[in-house]
Amino acid sequence: MNMPALAFDAHTHIFPDAIGPRVVAQLAATLPLPTSYNGTRDGLLRKLAEAGIAGSLNAPVATRADQVDAINIWAAEQNRWPILSLGAMHPDYPDIPTELRRVKDRGLPGIKLHPEYQGFAPDEPRLDIIWRTCRELGLIILLHAGNDWQFPPPCRANPAAIARVVRAWPGLTLIAAHFGGFEQWEAVAHELVGLPLYLDTSFAVGFLPDDQFVRLVRQHSSARVLFGSDAPWQDPPATLAAFRRLPFTPPEQHAILWANAARLFHLEEHACPATSAARKEPSCM
Ligand SMILES: [Zn+2]
């Protein structure tokens, strides 16, 4: 049986057109790798089309609490297929439960948090209000994990701290970006693999040995791994090609590239609302 070649990129970034090119150029100047596009929605759409990726998830980071309101209004406008969007939150935001309820009411599937840009450790008690409210509301959290080249080590979002959150908040839907801890692959293997959280593949494929990556995915379960590129910091077409070269079985590939994200983000409803009730896989793209 031929598996459908559907793919969804569960970790991408777009910015408002007025600031995207400047933000991306500034960050790009500090990075050792070329960027994929200029940070705009149109730029990402062209890259998704080039890669044959059906859709993606935008992950906005509020670097200050006073940015949260405006980002979430903008994110709700951007949350339309083929680009879905998370909302933003910041631990210093004055009324976290009320804003998370607005995130939910606006139809956003969850929020992005970044411990380095936002200055917190995942297992700090002041984060409890975010974990508790997201769990209550069924909001998904995409959490930056591991090192970030913009910040000197040690990183706040280390695998042991993330494991403490997972154990303290059963039922929380947490996605740890960068396969649970960029450049902390040994700690990921010891602390996170096998726990009930999702790991995305961004800045992992090609950053640890392929055989180690494949082994860890299988130990963790391909049912809890999501393909992500972290575009524009990586190139979706190149990242997808690198992932497809790995020796995963077709069912494993399908789970990581599409099915897990489809389950979490209700992709069939977004991609082809008219046929999703009648079909298991969308055929309208
Ligand atoms: Zn990212």
Identify the structural domains of the chain with CATH numbers, from first to last.
Answer: 8-271 (3.20.20.140)
Structure tokens that stand for 204 in this block: 């992992």
- What is the mean pLDDT of the segment spanning 11-31? 91
Nearest-angstrom CA–CA distance, 257 and 26: 31
Band (243; pLDDT cuts 50, 70, 90): very high
Which residue, among 125, 162, 143, has the nearest Cα to 226 in the 3D structure?
Answer: 143
DSSP SS3 for 239 = helix
Choose the weakest-confidence range: 24-28, 51-55, 102-106, 108-112: 24-28
What is the torsional sign of CA 274, 250, 197, 110? negative
Helix (H, G, I), strand (E, B) or coil at 258: helix
Question: What is the per-residue pLDDT across 30-46, written as a single tens digit (0 to 9) for each?
Answer: 888 889 999 999 999 99
pLDDT top residue among 58 and 33: 58
Alpha helices (H) in the chain, listed in sequence order: 20-28, 41-51, 68-78, 96-105, 115-118, 128-137, 159-168, 185-187, 210-220, 236-244, 250-254, 260-265, 267-271
Centre of ligand 1 to C-alpha 114, Å, is 9
Conformation bin of residue 136: beta by default, left when phi > 0, alpha when psi is -120 to 50: alpha
Euclidean distance between CA atoms 239 and 232, whole angstroms: 11
Percentage of the chain with pLDDT > 90?
A: 84
Residue 111 alpha carbon to ligand 1 centre in Å = 12
Reported confidence tier of residue 149, pLDDT bands at 50, 70, 90: confident
Q: What's the rounded Cα separation, in Å, for the pair 155 and 203?
A: 16
What is the bridge-based pairing of β-strands 83-85 and 87-88?
Answer: unpaired
pLDDT value for 259 = 98
Q: What is the pLDDT of residue 3?
A: 44
Ligand 1 centroid to Cα of residue 211, in Å, is 24
Q: How far is the CA of 242 from the centre of ligand 1 (A)?
A: 18
Tokens of residue 69, six digits: 């309101």
**Which residue type occupies 185?**
W
Tens digit of each residue's pLDDT (9 = 90 or more) over 203-219:
999 999 999 999 999 99
pLDDT at 126: 96
Find the 136 Cα to ligand 1 centroid distance in Å.
25
What is residue 4's predicted lDDT score, i.e. its pLDDT?
Answer: 46
Q: 58: part of which helix (H) or strand (E)?
A: strand 55-58
Asked if 216 and 209 count as a contact pair (C-beta separation under 8 A), the reply is no
| Mode of pairing for the β-strands spanning 174-176 and 198-200 | parallel
CA distance 234 to 228: 10
**Ligand 1 centroid to 21 CA: how many Å?**
16
Quick one: tokens of 22?
Answer: 């400047």
Q: Tens digits of per-residue pLDDT, 169-215?
A: 999 999 999 999 999 999 999 999 999 999 999 999 999 999 999 99
- Report CA(11)–ligand 1 centroid distance (Å): 6
Whether 86 contacts 74, CB under 8 Å:
no
144: closest CA among 168, 169, 172, 174? 174
Residue 275 and residue 74: Cα distance in Å, rounded?
A: 29
12 CA distance to ligand 1 middle (Å) = 6
Beta partners for residue 112, in sequence order: 88, 142
Residue 223 — pLDDT band, cuts 50, 70, 90? very high
Q: For residue 274, what pLDDT band results from cuts at 50, 70 and 90? A: low
How far, in Å, is the centroid of ligand 1 from the Cα of 134? 20
Q: Which two tokens stand for residue 252?
A: 């494993």
pLDDT for position 114: 97
Q: How far is the CA of 230 from the centre of ligand 1 (A)?
A: 5
Q: How far apart are CA 134 and CA 129, in angstroms?
A: 8
